[in-house]
Amino acid sequence: MRHVEDTGFHPSDITPESVWLTRRQLLRGAALAPVALAGASSSARAATDASPTGAALPAEKSLKWSTSDTVTPWRDITTYNNFYEFGTGKGDPATYAGKMQLRPWAVQIDGAVRRPMTLDIDDLRKLAPLEERIYRLRCVEAWSMVIPWTGYSLAHLLRHVEPTEEAKYVTFTTVVQPKAMPGVAEHILDWPYLEGLRMDEAMHPLTLLTFGLYGHDLPAQDGAPVRVVIPWKYGFKSGKSLVRIHLQPTQPTTSWMRAAPREYGFYANVNPAVPHPRWSQATERRVGSGFFAARIPTLPFNGYAEEVSSLYQGMDLRRYF
């Protein structure tokens, strides 16, 4: 097994999660085509563009919620993805996501709310003013990007449906389209991909209901037509292509908790002091910064400690990883 901190680590190398996936699939006796783990293929790169092609999505630029870090190039954000419904290779989402059916699309918001509703994607998008926010995204696999997202705080939608006193957690359910998603048949995870947040995390203004990237509609591989982005948590918390947002009294078991409970916890706050059982989380590789660029230190809460650390006061973050 190749450790992610080896020098000379290359984007197309097998990543730790993929290594784990190989093992899991072998255990299940599934024959895994090596190409699925080979990372971004040349055909994936050819299938994507150098600049945005989707419809423009005008939005106010938010200085308050944006980092001044150098933004990752569009090509990297749209060709180096994790979206396991399309396969485990970083290039698989860009190769296959074009087949995804993006309209009609509705999102159901229900559970512990006074006003459950199903909103058409175009109505959902108009629910609050859109902002462009440049966030750091730190993947659990120890790479990161800086991404200009367009959306609004999820809190706007949650307030709109009027949560009851029972609403302590939120579960995000993402779409399953077996015909368009070759990874679904491989049973890489138990679909649909489920993620969740505690209610106060979901209500935090940084938690972004996201419709756009680089000032345009989200490309399918990045979670079109709507995803959530939680910048102080590892990337896997940010569920793509949402179809349901469910409020409930109990903590949900997310897809990654179910698949590997020792490795992926519910909180998944970015924390350089708590290593993953199989690799360090102390540093990260900024995707797009050049092959020989030095790794950079990972910051507690991905650099958002000032905004969010109070949510976890008194909690043992080693235990609640």
Bond from prior residue into 192 cis (ω within 30 degrees of 0): yes
Binding flag, residue 238, ligand MTE (CB under 6 A):
yes
How many other CB atoms are found less than 10 A from the CB of residue 141?
22
| Rg of the chain over all Cα atoms, to the nearest angstrom | 18
Pick from 223, 204, 202: which is nearest to 212 by CA?
A: 223
Minimum CB distance to ligand MTE, residue 137 (Å): 6
Ramachandran region, residue 294 (left: φ > 0; alpha: ψ -120 to 50; beta: rest): beta
The structure tokens 């409020």 sit at 247
Minimum CB distance to ligand MTE, residue 229 (Å): 8
Binding mask 103-132 for ligand MTE (x = CB under 6 A): ------------------------------
Minimum CB distance to ligand MTE, residue 314 (Å): 29
- Beta partners for 163? 113
Minimum CB distance to ligand MTE, residue 256 (Å): 8
Euclidean distance between CA atoms 315 and 301, whole angstroms:
14
Q: Fill in the DSSP letter of residue 56.
A: B
Binding flag, residue 25, ligand MTE (CB under 6 A):
no
In the bound complex, which residue of the shown chain has the CB atom lying closest to ligand MTE? Answer: 235
Binding mask 68-107 for ligand MTE (x = CB under 6 A): -------------xxxxx----------------------
Task: Decide: 237 and 256 in contact? Cβ < 8 Å.
Answer: no
DSSP string, 117-140: EEEEHHHHHTSS--EEEEEEEE-T
Binding flag, residue 139, ligand MTE (CB under 6 A):
yes
3-class DSSP state for residue 244?
Answer: strand
Minimum CB distance to ligand MTE, residue 270 (Å): 11
Q: Burial level of 280, CB count in 10 A (0-12/13-18/19+)?
A: middle
Binding flag, residue 304, ligand MTE (CB under 6 A):
no
Binding flag, residue 191, ligand MTE (CB under 6 A):
no
Q: What share of the chain is helix, strand, coil (3-state, %, to 5)?
A: 25, 25, 50
Binding flag, residue 210, ligand MTE (CB under 6 A):
no
Task: Decide: 79 and 156 in contact? Cβ < 8 Å.
Answer: no
Binding flag, residue 201, ligand MTE (CB under 6 A):
no
Site residues for ligand MTE, 146-165, by CB under 6 A, read none
Euclidean distance between CA atoms 202 and 208, whole angstroms:
9
Pick from 151, 235, 252, 265 the residue near ligand MTE by CB under 6 A.
235
Binding flag, residue 214, ligand MTE (CB under 6 A):
no
* # binding residues, ligand MTE (CB under 6 A): 17
Binding flag, residue 289, ligand MTE (CB under 6 A):
no
Binding flag, residue 236, ligand MTE (CB under 6 A):
yes
* Region near ligand MTE per CB under 6 A, out of 121-129, 149-157, 235-243, 292-300: 235-243
Minimum CB distance to ligand MTE, residue 180 (Å): 13
Interacting residue ranges for ligand MTE, rule: CB under 6 A? 81-85, 137, 139, 174, 193, 222-223, 235-236, 238-241
